[in-house]
Amino acid sequence: MSNLKDALEGKKFVITGEVGPPKGVDIETCLHDAEHLRGKVVAINVTDLQSAVMRIGSLAVSAKLVERGLEPVYQLTCRDRNRLALQSDLLSAWALGIKNVLCLTGDHPVLGDDREAKPVYDLDSVQLLKAANMLNEGHDLAGHDLDGKPDLFTGAVVTPAADPLEPQIIKMEKKINAGARFFQTQAIYEPDKFEAFVNQASTFKVPIIAGIVVLKSAAMARYMNENVAGIHVPDALVQEMADTPKEDRKKKSVQISARLIRELKPLCQGVHIMPLGWDELVPDIIEQAGLG
């Protein structure tokens, strides 16, 4: 049984975390980072070749978390696999004890570190959600019956600060119709924009987990503003980080993350904390946010 599913269906406010698999087979640091989250979060996302960079697979790391008694959210992107491989990986995930899956289209390889890689995109995120839920019903996309079916808890992503917002709402509804049972969002730094999004999405009655990316520096904030669609770090936050001495940045990052969580909490069903390697800060963020 998925603890994430139980918590969301039980109307509990949830906290999820995230780890990024390494570019290589030395996963001890990744697993050590996950240990910082033990007892603090209900589940831990495992990213799937994030930023289109070749890394060890999210399926392998998710399985290692299961072995250690931690609950993963297995991220699966459409970029690198056709529909046969995607469905096979979903069945493999269930066989390895993985209960939660976040279905994503995936960044294009042109954004990664090997631009000669050819994208697949046989399915998009909506179609992947449909495939996962057809497997849950006992048959594959081609309509063939399965010998034993999974019960995957399927989620999707949404970008609340997108401009215009309407395409996100339309895509969100399509994902729900395809089987999305929860949403995790892109990073949020403007609670007023998130509130406007929630007001439009409230009719869907699907749990929304607000994304928090831990700011590491003013340079990081400026980079996201210039290069990451759907994220805007307000000038005041950029300046707050710029005015912080380097030795105090982690402390300031905790304060900003906790402050955002306190503002977002009345508007959502949980928060998804993305520490980007600063996993040791997550317990302090949770405590300062009043969730500990």
Name all contacts of 2-5 with Cβ < 8 Å and 24+ positions apart: 2/43, 2/71, 2/99, 2/100, 2/153, 3/42, 3/43, 3/71, 4/42, 4/43, 4/71, 4/73, 4/99, 4/100, 4/153, 4/182, 5/99, 5/100, 5/153, 5/181
State the Rg of the chain over Cα. 18
Tokens of 237: 């936050």
- pLDDT reported for residue 292: 76
Distance CA 27, CA 29 (A): 6
- pLDDT reported for residue 131: 98
CATH number at residue 252: 3.20.20.220
Tell me the pTM. Answer: 0.96
How many independent structural domains does the chain possess?
A: 1
Whole domain around residue 200: which residue ranges? 3-288
- pLDDT reported for residue 175: 98
Tokens of 233: 């770090």
Task: Please list the rounded mean pLDDT of every run of 10 residues in the chain (292 residues).
Answer: 96 97 96 95 97 96 98 98 98 98 95 94 98 98 98 98 94 98 97 96 96 96 90 94 95 97 97 94 96 84
**SS3 of 71, please?**
coil
For residue 23, the 8-state DSSP code is S
Burial of residue 146 (CB within 10 Å: 0-12, 13-18, 19+) is: middle
- pLDDT reported for residue 230: 87
First-last CA distance in the chain: 24
